[in-house]
Amino acid sequence: MASLHIPCTTTATTPSSATRPSSRHHFAKPSHLITHAKRNNRLQISCSDSQKQKDSSQNADTPQGNVDRRNVLLGFGGLCGAANLISTHTASANPVQAPQIDKCGVATNLNTGKQLDINCCPPMGKNIIDFKPPPLVQMRTRPSAHRVSAEYMFKYNTAIDRMKRLPKDDPRSFMQQANIHCAYCNGAYDQPGQGTLDLQVHNSWLFFPFHRWYLYFYERILGKLIGDPTFALPFWNWDNPKGMTIPPMFVDPKAAIYDAKRNPANMPPAVVDLGLTGNKDPLQVVSNNLTVMYSEMVRANSDIYDFMGKPYREGTLVNPGPGASERGSHVAIHVFVGDPREPSGEDLGNFYSAGRDPLFYCHHANVDRMWTLWQYFLPNNKLIDKKITDPDYLNASFLFYDENAQLVRVTVKDCLDNTKLGYDFERVDLPWLDYRPPPQTAQAKVMRTVSTTRKADAVFPLKLDGIARVLIQKTKKGKADELLVIEDITVDTSKFLKFDVFVNDEDDNVGELDKAAYAGTYAQVPHKTNEKTATTTIRLKLTELYDDMDVTEDDTVLVTLVPRHEGEGVTIGGIKIIENPTPAKTS
């Protein structure tokens, strides 16, 4: 299908000391989140429709033009170039373009591969306006769901009830809002100019910004419906032991926020299993959960793409790969809540139906909080550059219906700071922040296992349908700054798939993650791509793991891969250890 680019340029700069805010978020103690402070060193973006500017990140002039007011709901705009058609599926140096509402097709059930018998396409819209932040009168504070008051629960249920009572063709109605996730995650839209190439907002650097905007407008619609502009969505505090059950307010069958399609075995007091280990000891599961959070938020990331996800550009055939948070705790909650009695894990266990469960928005409010925590609060903030200056990321744009049923175009660069969107999060403890696994020193069993384990060149490619162990050569002796690279992970995109990674695991108790040997995870919710399979690579930082293990004199390490899914679906092309190409900053 033909489509025009939307020309727009971006300039990424760091504010000078004369213009940037003078203070920043700080911790009162390491396990606390402090809200409502100003931030400095923010990424400043300018975009003009009437003049030419130079993009500092690429140091090149780019043409400007008028915005194409197409009828779209979600898209990737700010394109720096003239209108063109691309006949191949080779990723180009442009953002993915917006789909057209009148080209919306039938979405697909990812588990069965069959077309859905529901219409996920939004109502037709026009007269698109560009987003402008409303005047900030009072900061909206998103509360922890397990701590909310009876008054808040009444407001929230009233808002959802009124959303459900809106006419079916109102884009703000409950099902229309739920269908946003269906339309753009299950293949209803193609990338313009790319034939039948699907548009997918998961498994790449667009995951966090898309869902942030999605919740932003959902929240504003709810506030409008109850006449309370200060209303804020709750976040499911599944990273805190006190919040590691489905929040109580969601389990009342008479409540508007109730959904019957949830796994009955995982209702309270069942503890969320972020590792999906199947361990039945609730104390061990809590310990595993804190270890998972520490790993994906602190320990395993060597650069911004390890956390945010890999770049996704125009013409990308399949999504390039998720970041640590998306493939970890995010996937686990979808699978934990989804109902196994339903054909495809509905509601939360499948992308097309996830938005039908109000718990989805509560879950993703915490996912959004993880992005905020990682950006501004973690003590390793100075070790990794937290800014993506690539214009293909910054100029990606989406269109949503706002609280007045008006189509609004937004960009990634406008959502990088949640406080500028008028909301923040309740201050709560972060127990996982101090949950570094205990050191491991015993080597006897590890060395016995090593003697019977094959080396990597004799194992790969490997179908991961059971626990696999392999010896990997280190780059050097000692506690080096190294990355474990698991490459050419080819997966069946229609299945839930997950495997965990251990290094020099001394006890082989795969139901326990709270140990130095746990290196990280890979997981996916079924998602739609043009191909039956997708291939990606993940990297796991080993620096801290080495510090907690006796590997100084070792030339090799033992890597154990533990599948958490049933059956086949994952093939791994190879595993290697490399020196960290982006070593930690010293200041």
For residue 56, give every residue at least 6 positions away whose Cβ sits within 8 Å of its Cβ, in sequence order, or none. 11, 12, 13, 389
- Alpha carbon distance 515, 414 (integer Å): 40
Cα 299 to the chain's mean position, in Å?
17
Annotated catalytic residue, options 5, 25, 146, 211: 211
Any known ligand binding at 26?
no
Known catalytic residue: 26? no
Known catalytic residue: 363? no
Annotated catalytic residue, options 5, 146, 334, 363: 334
Known catalytic residue: 202? yes
Q: What does the DSSP 8-state code read for residue 583?
A: P
Beta strands across the sheet bearing 533-541: 462-463, 570-579, 482-492, 533-541
**Phi, then psi, of 343 in degrees rounded to 5:** -55, -35
Cα 550 to the chain's mean position, in Å?
34
Any known ligand binding at 146?
no
A 10 A CB-CB count for 552 gives: 10
Helix 207-225, helix 174-185: angle, nearest 10: 170
**Phi, then psi, of 556 in degrees rounded to 5:** -130, 165
With CA atoms as reference, report the closest residue to 1 among 81, 72, 80: 72
Are 521 and 501 contacting, i.e. CB atoms less than 8 angstroms apart? yes
**Phi, then psi, of 146 in degrees rounded to 5:** -85, 0
406: left (phi over 0), alpha (psi -120 to 50) or beta: beta
Are 410 and 399 contacting, i.e. CB atoms less than 8 angstroms apart? yes
Location of structure tokens 């080779």:
90
Widest Cα–Cα separation across the chain: 70
With CA atoms as reference, report the closest residue to 420 among 16, 44, 30, 26: 44
Query: What DSSP element (H or E) covers 579?
Result: strand 570-579
Known catalytic residue: 89? no
What pairing do the DSSP bridges indicate for beta strands 533-541 and 482-492?
antiparallel
- Alpha carbon distance 170, 61 (integer Å): 42
Any known ligand binding at 89?
no
With CA atoms as reference, report the closest residue to 447 among 549, 553, 558, 547: 558
Annotated catalytic residue, options 330, 363, 527, 565: 330
With CA atoms as reference, report the closest residue to 517 among 466, 579, 443, 431: 443
What pairing do the DSSP bridges indicate for beta strands 423-425 and 140-142?
parallel
Known catalytic residue: 36? no
- Alpha carbon distance 45, 24 (integer Å): 20
Any known ligand binding at 32?
no
- Alpha carbon distance 507, 558 (integer Å): 13
Residue type, 273: D
- Alpha carbon distance 162, 146 (integer Å): 23
- Alpha carbon distance 314, 209 (integer Å): 17
With CA atoms as reference, report the closest residue to 96 among 228, 200, 24: 200
With CA atoms as reference, report the closest residue to 226 among 154, 141, 167: 154
Any known ligand binding at 334?
yes
- Alpha carbon distance 492, 539 (integer Å): 20
Annotated catalytic residue, options 5, 25, 146, 364: 364
Location of structure tokens 């266990």:
349
Annotated catalytic residue, options 250, 351, 400, 425: 351
**CA dist list (Å): 251 to 153, 259, 367:** 12, 8, 21
The residues annotated as belonging to the active site are 181, 202, 211, 330, 334, 351, 364
Binding residues: 181, 202, 211, 330, 334, 364
Binding residues for Cu cation: 181, 202, 211, 330, 334, 364
